[in-house]
Structure 1
Amino acid sequence: MTDRSKPLSGEVIRPTSSMPAALDGFTALNELVDAARECITVHAVENTKQARIAAYENTEVARIKAAEGILRQYFDHTFAERRATTDAMFARLDAAIEAGDSQLISEVVKGVVDVAKSSPLAAMGDLGQIRKALDDPDQVWEL
């Protein structure tokens, strides 16, 4: 087997006007067989590499889809809670406005601002820890 970083090398036998010697024919046959073996080996190695890449791709796509599903569930749950909270806050704000209660209006507006400042992911902490959790097949997600 030849070194793959170097081009194949060999001696090209030039046709002569006379019949080549049996040894020259045997040498040419060996060169042909060696070149064919090398081609088959390279083809098999490259097919194996492509299969590994395809398997890696399939694994990573599955991981992405799993993470996407978990993140979608998290966002659906979190934003449903936030929606209920903000709906209640705005209902209280409307009631405070109708009642003319400036103290309650101030407190409700502060609450709305606090909700608006918080990100759903900020409560989860370090995103690196989230990645570790996503990589852990034993991780239990509770929503």
Structure 2
Amino acid sequence: MMTSKSEPLAGKIVSNGKKGSGLAKGIAGMDALNALNTMVDGTLDYLRLREEERTKRAKLDTYERTELRKIETAEAVLKDYFRQAFAERKQNTDELFARYDAAIERGDADSAHLALQGVIDIAKSSPLNDLGDLGQIRAALDNEKHVWEL
């Protein structure tokens, strides 16, 4: 039955077909007990599942924090390594360029060539090459007791 927006909703109340003053008199005692047991069991299952999921979430949060700490630690180690490695490389390249400039001023082509070759060799190499096998680095990062020596 459709009503217009200005009319209130109207309908007919249908009884359960049994005599009595209400629905409660028409339900058998066992049906009510079964309904109550279903509610209690459902609630207990829900509460148990909710607690299990909270525990899983807590474990995931702990794992996430632990992994992020490992990443942050690795980042700090790598930054320190690069800072030291590039400082050493800068010192070496500065010295080689000074030797190159001095060789050019003297007109010493062989010494200039050797100094320039040294700069090229430094440019070709990566500080990561000195670290070795990256798998070993990962294993060291996973080992909380590993001591990093730079």
TM-score calculated relative to the size of structure 2 = 0.82
If asked which structure has higher relative contact order (CA below 8 Å, sep 6+), I would say 1
Letter in 2 for 1:60: E
| In 2: Cα distance, 1:60 partner to 1:42 partner | 27
Give me the whole-angstrom Cα distance separating, in 2, the residues matched to 1:16 and 1:121.
81
Aligned residue among 57, 70, 87 for 1:63: 70
Q: Residue 74 of structure 1 aligns with which residue?
A: 81
Match of 2:53 in 1: 46
Counting only pairs closer than 5 Å after superposition, residues 93-132 of structure 1 correspond to structure 2 as 93-132=100-139
- Superposition RMSD on alpha carbons, in Å? 1.2
Deviation of residue 134 (structure 1)? 1.2
Q: How does 1:1-16 map to 2 (within 5 A)?
A: 16=16
* 1:36 alignment partner AA: T
Q: Indicate the percent of aligned positions where both proteins have the same amino acid.
A: 47
Q: Secondary structure of 1:121's match?
A: helix
Structure 1 length as normaliser, TM-score?
0.86
Runs of 4+ that moved beyond 4 A:
none
CA distance in 2, matches of 1:137, 1:31: 50
- Structure of larger gyration radius: 2
**Residue 16 (structure 1) shift:** 3.6
Cα distance in structure 2, aligned partners of 1:54 and 1:70 = 24
1:66 Cα offset (Å): 0.5
Instruction: Find the aligned partners of 1:20 and 1:107 in 2 and give their Cα distance.
Output: 103
- Matches of residues 74-93 of structure 1 in structure 2 within 5 Å? 74-93=81-100
Q: Secondary structure at the match of 1:81?
A: helix
State the aligned residue count.
129
Matched residues in 2 for 1:112 and 1:43: separation?
64
Instruction: Look up the equivalent residue of 2:34 and give its one-letter code.
Output: T
Q: What letter corresponds to residue 110 of structure 1 in structure 2?
A: Q
Q: The residue matched to 1:93 in structure 2 has which SS?
A: helix
Secondary structure, counterpart of 1:138 in structure 2: coil
The alpha-carbon deviation at position 142 of structure 1 amounts to 1.5
* 1:23 equivalent in alignment to 2:30: yes
**Structure 1: segments with no counterpart, 5+ residues:** 1-14
Mapped partners of 2:71, 2:131: distance in 1: 19
User: Is it true that 1:142 corresponds to 2:146 in the alignment?
Assistant: no
